[in-house]
Amino acid sequence: MTAPAPEGSLAPVLRDVDAVVFDTDGVITESATVHAAAWKEAFDAYLRAHPPADPAARRPFDVRDDYLRHVDGRSRLDGAAAFLAARGVDATPETVQEVAAAKERLFTDRLREQGVDAYPGTVRLVRELRAAGVPRAAASASRHAGELLSRAGVLDLFDALVDGGEAARLGLAGKPEPDLFLEAAAQLGVPAGRAAVVEDALAGVEAGRRGGFALVVGVDRAAGEDTAARLLRHGADIVVRDLGELCAGGEPK
């Protein structure tokens, strides 16, 4: 078992967990906005070329609401299928693949043009956990997770990484199933009941709850009228706006 964190280095809520699994996009790196912009371009192009029968379903993809409801935290194929179904599109597997591939190209182009940064509060927390001897893993449905963490200069802060490529190789189910997080905890050698999950997506906090993790932390980057409440309803034990709140002196909600 991991030695307890030094008094004062971490918020009390983290002092009894033996490992922490972090989602990547929107939790560690400021890449969720890049994903959302790429999804918007891909979905809007599809809706213009193939307008649904219902005029209301033709409205453009909303980078906040539609992103959170349908694609955030999910694999590209699951996200594409979920959004198209929500707009009443009876999409074939080929159509889903086409839209997902368009998003992938757009995201890759944007990533290479813009780069990506890590959230300072997250970096602070991860460093505090490392200093306390608490194992840390990064987990993501994206195949780009390793590249994102490397570009942000934080890959070496994590003891394990489970990304979309690893998930495909192992046949892991996508969120809201807990497979991705359970594999990350297993790679750290810690059972879920002694580990925490940190997530910003509704599907992700639900996955943490389904996986039986000791603590599920929701990160409310959107800070909308009901976004924190939605994270709590889907399975978060606590919600913070920045992970620096889980270091000494923080005040998680």
Active site residues: 23, 25
Which two tokens mark 202? Answer: 């509704």
Distance CA 80, CA 47 (A): 12
Instruction: Give the helix ranges, DSSP H, for the chain.
Output: 32-49, 65-66, 76-86, 93-114, 120-131, 145-151, 164-170, 179-188, 202-210, 227-234
Q: Tell me which residue of 81, 207, 202 sits closest to 139, measured CA to CA.
A: 207
Please give the angle made by the CA atoms of 131, 244 and 128, to the nearest 5 degrees.
0
Would you list the DSSP string of 98-150? HHHHHHHHHHHHHHHHH---B-HHHHHHHHHHHHTT--EEEE-S-TTHHHHHH
Which two tokens mark 50? Answer: 């193939």
Whether residue 231 contacts residue 207, with contact meaning beta carbons closer than 8 Å, is answered with no
Which two tokens mark 84? Answer: 């198209």
Which two tokens mark 41? Answer: 């371009």
Q: Nearest 5°: phi and psi at 73?
A: 85, -10
181 contact partners, CB below 8 Å, separation of at least 6: 21, 139, 192, 197, 207, 208, 211, 213
